Amino acid sequence: MWIKRILTLLPLLTILFLIQSYFWIPTYEEQTRGNKQRLEEFISGSTGDASILNPILSADSASAEIESKVFEGLIDRDENLNFRGRIAKKWKIYEEIYILPKKDEDIEEIKSIVSNMKSVTSFDVTQEKGKEISINHNGKKINVKIYPNKKIKIVMNKVVPEFFAILKNRSKKDFCSFVDYKKYISVSEKNININELGKKVLPVCEENPVILFYLRHNVLFHDGVKLTAKDVKFTYEAIMDPKNLSPRISDFEPVKKVEVIDPYTVKITYKRLYSPALSAWSIGILPEHLLNKDALKKEAKSRGMDPDKFTIRDSSFNRHPIGSGPFKFKKWKSGEYIILERFEQYWEGPPNYKKYIFRIIPDKLTEEMEFLSGTLDIYSPQPHEVERFQNNDKFQVFSGTSFGYTYIGYNLRRDIFKDVRVRRALSMAIDVDKIIKYVLYNQGERITGPFVKQTPYYNKNVKPIPYDPEGALCLLQEAGWKKRKDGWLYKNGKKLQFTLITNSGNEIRRAILAIVQDAWKKIGVDVSTDVVEWSVFIQERINKLDFDAVILGWVMSIEPDLFQIWHSSQTNPYQLNFIGFKNKKADELIEKIRMEYDKAKQIEYCHKLHQLIADQCPYTFLFVRKWTVALDSRIVIMEKDEYGNRIYKKITPTKTGDFSYYFNKWIKLPKRIYFEN
């Protein structure tokens, strides 16, 4: 009898224990009373762990959060989204243009035309030496002999995308037209189209934008070694090495060569016009001395692995990174925490916080309770919690519209998703407005395409796919799917069924999972669902393309370059177009956007690409969230005046909404101070 009574009371006792456990968490005052250390560390929480701490290899937000503090790029953006120098103190952008003249008279004519152009800084004619090179041509490696030839070199003090159009207009000649390459090159192999090959090895006209970076002399890696131009060149080469499977290759493929001019000057020459060139160099710079071939061979041998197969992706560096950022890596315990310590020799001066602790807390309720008790310093409230935090003066709350969006992506390699009518029907069956209202508590907005909604690149004329379950069913029937007596849709004896997955630790995505499953089942689609732990989700399912459909989100850059996510060349394992979207017109637009320096034309191409992707429905575009972040109100910006006196300032977002822009100057005070409005 007494056993039965205990079993009856057990659920209540469990609840009481959990409530009591919550109140046993020490308050902020208890933690900081006589404990200066707690004031000098910043603790954040995340539902997912990092996957790999290497900026050229990672593709998830948790890893990026840590990397942003451990590594540093040549540049980043300031509070107004203008580029500012970091490792690079300054830079120069110009252009080198090469023309292969068909005859000597062309040289003088071109010279007379460009002599009146203000942006031209020099005009030279060089006699290039003959050479022999190996090249992959149509899947075959062949040797090509290039004969000596004259070349015109024109240096401009800026990039002039319309240069060849100007030249053609003023001369009434096309100096970039066809040449007979038999005069310039030869191959020993038979049945080779010489002129087709010549375009690859010896283009008639070349536009080579150049960035000349001048590095700071006082930047150190965390092991005390100076960062120099050779580390920049090494980082580029590591990205481009196919063995490393870097998802960043597309950002750097347009680079023709990287040259070390001197220890603190690096010259980046591009193969062609490439408008996002500068932003790519915000990538964290790697230490060459720790990851070069000799270092990797030594590590492979010490670990009993094959040195010939060992790559940067295999290195223990990825779990014990060394960068040049404001914080250095201390410890990583998978699934629990990552600890960083401030770097005292950081070139800009060390951060105010001595430690940065990144805790993995998969459960949002636990994360909220720990924030309320002070064991976390920052928290992103769930949509239904936003108002409660905004009305509590213990916290400072920041809000804005995210640079990104949430979507359902379909693996277009699967037969059932190859028909655009099926993809559109699945989108029509989902009441997105209902999700925004009841799951997001109206803390979100609908989107229709792949660009950041706050930018001019987003096409506002594209209308959302309407919620229309009956229309969705008609579209599926048109595509050959018929309902049977059991209520499911079939085509050629095959049921319309698949699995929809998402990552664990995200209650909003979990809620969407259930809503979407129910909506699709109502029209006869048999959908099963799965929630996968973050690191397994990314490494085993997404990176290896092992999924049917997925709920995920992108955090986007303001740059309109969508090459990595949408170009046909980026559909392999470990690349970001993991849904397998391939469209020739989309590829052409993506490439035009990358090469266009005229913003008005760039916007025009972006709007066309937006419309095309929306029409093809490779994603069900759901919403962009309104983000809200709560911070302990005791956290302030602390600076020192010329006399060393502390000055405290209130944390205020930049014009772009970035509240953490001055994170290195943040500090936590024992008591809250009040600022005048």
pLDDT one-digit tens code per residue, 189-209: 888 888 888 888 888 999 999
- Is residue 210, in this structure, part of any structural domain at all? no
Q: What is the pLDDT of residue 677?
A: 64
> What is the number of structural domains in the chain?
3
Query: For residues 612 and 389, is the Cβ–Cβ distance under 8 A?
Result: no
Same domain, 506 and 377: no
Which is nearest to 622 in space by CA: 433, 325, 406? Answer: 406
Which is nearest to 341 in space by CA: 325, 331, 328, 353? Answer: 328
Amino acid sitting at position 604 = E
Residue stretches of the chain with pLDDT short of 70: 1-35, 677
Pairing of strands 205-215, 255-262: unpaired
| Final residue in a domain of this structure, among 166, 187, 203 | 203
Same domain, 372 and 441: no
Domain that holds residue 53: 42-72+306-399+628-668
129 exposure class (CB count in 10 Å sphere: 0-12, 13-18, 19+): exposed
Q: What is the pLDDT of residue 362?
A: 87
Same domain, 57 and 161: no
| Final residue in a domain of this structure, among 181, 203, 225 | 203
Q: What is the pLDDT of residue 649?
A: 94
Amino acid sitting at position 126 = T
Amino acid sitting at position 353 = Y
Q: What is the 3-state secondary structure (H, E, C) of 322-359?
A: CCCCCEEEEEEECCCEEEEEECCCCCCCCCCCCEEEEE
- Joined together, the tokens standing for residue 267 give 């010259």
Same domain, 508 and 540: yes
- Is residue 440, in this structure, part of any structural domain at all? yes
Q: What is the pLDDT of residue 64?
A: 93
Which is nearest to 338 in space by CA: 352, 350, 324, 321? Answer: 321
Q: What is the pLDDT of residue 555?
A: 87
* Sign of the four-CA dihedral 323, 329, 333, 338: negative
Same domain, 445 and 569: yes
Give the C-alpha separation, 39 to 218, whole Å: 29
Q: What is the 3-state secondary structure (H, E, C) of 539-554?
A: HHHHCCCCCCEEEEEE
Same domain, 534 and 590: yes
The enclosing H or E element of 387 equals helix 386-390
Q: pTM value?
A: 0.78
Give the C-alpha separation, 95 to 93, whole Å: 7
Give the C-alpha separation, 153 to 161, whole Å: 16
Give the C-alpha separation, 362 to 534, whole Å: 10
Same domain, 623 and 633: no
Q: What is the 3-state secondary structure (H, E, C) of 103-136?
A: CHHHHHHHHHHHCCCCCEEEEEEEEECCEEEEEE
What's the CATH code of the domain at 318?
3.40.190.10
Same domain, 499 and 570: yes
- Joined together, the tokens standing for residue 608 give 């066309």
Q: What is the mean pLDDT of the chain?
A: 91
| Final residue in a domain of this structure, among 203, 222, 254 | 203
Give the C-alpha separation, 549 to 513, whole Å: 11
Which is nearest to 619 in space by CA: 464, 480, 482, 474? Answer: 464
- Is residue 168, in this structure, part of any structural domain at all? yes
